[in-house]
Amino acid sequence: MLEVHDIKKSFDGFAAVAGVSFAAKRRQIAAVIGPNGAGKSTLFNIITGHLRPDAGRVWLAGRDITGAAPHRICRMGMSRSFQHTSIFPRLTVFENVQAAYLAHRGRGANFWSRSDTFYRDETDALIASLGLDGKADVAGGVLSHGNQKQVELGIALASNPDILLLDEPTAGMSSAETRQTIELLERLAGERSLTLLFTEHDMEVVFSIAQKIAVLHQGRMIAEGRPEDVRRDPEVRRVYLGERR
């Protein structure tokens, strides 16, 4: 589904990503973990077209998307969420999600019809499945952080992606909210046959649902494989336990 090969990216001489290769299969739930500064967000930004890599290639379902514009990549079936929750603050929840439908289904060129008539059912359904029904008319910016993350998920899902990239989806959440989010993600991934790729700091989350884990450290991948194998990998233990000291 998604393949990255030998990605390199430096900023002003600092190598944020130094030759990372990685693959995620269809319907797989994969995670990229690593200490702060390991290069996870940079890698994500390269995959989604936000940054151009200095070297290396990215393939999505067999198509080379290296350096393509983000909106093109989104059209090809990739969606993402951001670490700092990124929604449309002045639009209502309904308008937020509906906008994603409008963009995805190519209605943006319509200058004439009233936008609020489009995709009402789909939007309502998606909002309900996220558990936000009561809040459809609330402006995004005034919602709680947790709700905003849900809205963001809704926006990402409305584009009907094949693969969903999530940058720290449970950041800043209580353990109850974290569990809810994880259940929601697993359910949605199953319902929509999604491939999930996420980065996380919360190890419990990672080990509970990831089927494949890649570990980054200082821009390099130091381990890749099933959770049990990664857990036992000596290099990983050194990096994580060493860090805590």
Partner 1 sequence: MTVLRRTPWLLIVFVAALCVPWLGSRFYTFLATQITILALFAVSLNLLLGYTGLVSFGHAAYFGIGAYTCAILMKSYGVPFLGAFAAAGVMAASFGLVFGFFCVRLTRIYFAMLTLAFAQIVWAICLKWNDVTGGEQGLPNVPYPELDWLSSLPGFGGLRAGELFYLVALTLAAVCFAVLRRIVQSPFGRMLTVIRDNPERAEFIGVNVRLYELAAFAVAGLFAGLSGALFAIFNRGVFPDFAYWTRSAEALIMTILGGMGHFWGPVVGSLVLVVLNQQITSYTQYWPFVLGTILIVLLFAFPGGILGALHAGRARLPGWRRWPAELKPRDRNHA
Burial state string for 127-146 with b = 16 or more CB within 10 A and e = fewer than 16: bebbebeebbeeebeebeeb
Q: Among 52, 63, 64, 89, which residue interacts with partner 1 (rule: CB under 8 A)?
A: 89
Query: Can residue 87 be called a binding residue for partner 1 (CB under 8 A)?
Result: yes
The residue type at 121? D
CA distances from 91 to 88, 110, 140, 148 (A): 6, 19, 6, 12
Query: Can residue 50 be called a binding residue for partner 1 (CB under 8 A)?
Result: yes
Q: Among 86, 129, 180, 218, which residue interacts with partner 1 (rule: CB under 8 A)?
A: 86
Query: Can residue 67 be called a binding residue for partner 1 (CB under 8 A)?
Result: no
Q: Write down the least CB distance from residue 8 to partner 1, Å.
A: 17
Residues in contact with partner 1, counted by CB under 8 A, come to a total of 46
Which one of 56-64, 78-86, 120-128, 209-217 is the stretch in contact with partner 1 (CB under 8 A)? 78-86
Q: Among 13, 36, 62, 112, which residue interacts with partner 1 (rule: CB under 8 A)?
A: 112
Binding mask 130-149 for partner 1 (x = CB under 8 A): -------xxx-xx-------
Q: Among 155, 173, 205, 230, which residue interacts with partner 1 (rule: CB under 8 A)?
A: 155
Which residues neighbour 26 within 8 Å (Cβ) at sequence distance 6 or greater? 1, 162, 193, 195
Taking the least distance from each CB to partner 1, the nearer of 89 and 190 is: 89
Which one of 27-35, 68-76, 126-134, 234-242 is the stretch in contact with partner 1 (CB under 8 A)? 68-76
Angle at 112 between CA 140 and CA 161, to 5 degrees: 50
Taking the least distance from each CB to partner 1, the nearer of 95 and 200 is: 95
Q: Which two structure tokens, joined as six digits, stand for 44?
A: 């994500």
Burial state string for 69-89 with b = 16 or more CB within 10 A and e = fewer than 16: eeeebbeebbbbbbeebebbe
Q: Is 92 helix (H, G, I), strand (E, B) or coil?
A: strand
DSSP state of 85: -
Q: How many whole angstroms separate alpha carbon 195 and alpha carbon 144?
A: 28
Binding site for partner 1 (CB under 8 A): 45, 48, 50-51, 69-71, 74-75, 79-80, 82, 86-92, 95, 98-100, 102-104, 107-116, 118, 137-139, 141-142, 155-156, 158-159
